[in-house]
């Protein structure tokens, strides 16, 4: 399942996506297999247990290596945070994000009641900002060409569901297209892994990225999916490349109380992202994610 997770069928119950969401944790089977091999005193069983161990090391070992040298001098630092629509301390969350020193701050689950606290708390360090529905972007650099991105899934009739925006950030290294997105949540129930809305929203986001004319692109958002999940491929295929993904840190971001997966993502095109890490918990059920970008 580690090496061939792409062959696990999606139906019934979308088991493939469910496995890929928590894929790193499949490695916990390795110590169990080793213990069993030792107890039964089987050299063949012990050798067999090394196969999933090596597979896990190939898949996830590089993420545990120290960051490469360019991480110390990023061209752009991006903070991404689902701040939670029931966050009891939006002002404290804004202070924590400001202290992180990012150039761009992308937020999701903004509410009309909490928005003034974020606007006030971030205003001094981030003179440029844009919001659309429940997503927002704060920037040290000027923003222009701000527009909504329609990622509302088919079958969702709520006209107030507005979770995507796009802006051009005029950075010292040139123009960068910045997308902020919040894909629909998934549910695990008796019928399996329900992700139809999330999957359709990912396809629409992928089409928007495909139409983006700028070479340099940053996507920050709560994608309710890990990068291993095949359902996110319409997005990752547009941004993927040998140097586009994070190469240091698992950076599990959800749930904040006991992080199991990184569903809060920063992805790039026309750049490298040598480091990604989580920040200390705020009043949200997600941890903030901080990414270093090198053009």
CA 102 to chain centre: 16
What pLDDT, on the 0 to 100 scale, is given for residue 80? 98
Low-confidence spans in the chain with pLDDT less than 50: 70, 241-246
d(CA 110, CA 121): 14
Q: In whole angstroms, what is the distance from residue 138 CA to residue 143 CA? A: 9
Contact in structure between 276 and 248 (CB atoms under 8 Å):
yes
Q: Which fold, 71-294? A: Deoxyribonuclease I; Chain A (3.60.10)
Report d(CA 179, CA 158) in Å as an integer. Answer: 22
Q: Can you give the residue ranges of every domain in the chain?
A: 5-64, 71-294
Supply the pLDDT for residue 246: 47
| pLDDT of the residue at 49 | 86
| Burial class of 159 by CB neighbour count within 10 A (0 to 12, 13 to 18, 19+) | exposed
């Amino acid at each position: 399942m580690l090496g061939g997770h792409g062959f696990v069928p999606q139906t019934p119950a979308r088991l493939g996506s469910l496995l890929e969401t928590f894929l790193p944790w499949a490695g916990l089977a390795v110590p169990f297999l080793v213990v069993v091999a030792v107890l039964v005193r089987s050299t063949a069983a012990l050798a067999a247990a090394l196969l999933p161990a090596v597979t896990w090391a190939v898949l996830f070992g590089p993420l545990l290596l120290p960051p490469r040298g360019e991480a110390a001098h990023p061209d752009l630092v991006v903070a991404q945070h689902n701040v939670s629509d029931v966050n009891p301390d939006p002002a404290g969350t804004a202070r924590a994000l400001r202290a992180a020193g990012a150039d761009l701050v992308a937020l999701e689950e903004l509410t009309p009641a909490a928005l003034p606290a974020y606007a006030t708390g971030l205003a001094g360090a981030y003179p440029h900002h844009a919001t659309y529905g429940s997503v927002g972007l704060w920037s040290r650099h000027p923003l222009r060409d701000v527009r909504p991105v329609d990622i509302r899934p088919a079958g969702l009739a709520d006209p107030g569901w507005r979770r995507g925006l796009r802006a051009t950030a005029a950075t010292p290294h040139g123009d960068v297209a910045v997308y902020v997105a919040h894909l629909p949540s998934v549910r695990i129930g008796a019928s399996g892994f329900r992700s139809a809305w999330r999957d359709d929203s990912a396809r629409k986001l992928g089409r928007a990225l495909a139409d983006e004319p700028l070479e340099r692109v940053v996507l920050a958002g709560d994608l309710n999916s890990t990068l291993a999940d095949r359902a996110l491929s319409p997005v990752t295929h547009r941004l993927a490349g040998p140097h586009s993904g994070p190469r240091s840190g698992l950076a599990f971001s959800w749930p904040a109380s006991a992080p199991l997966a990184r569903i809060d993502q920063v992805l790039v095109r026309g750049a490298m992202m040598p480091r990604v890490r989580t920040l200390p918990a705020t009043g949200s059920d997600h941890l903030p994610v901080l990414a270093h970008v090198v053009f």
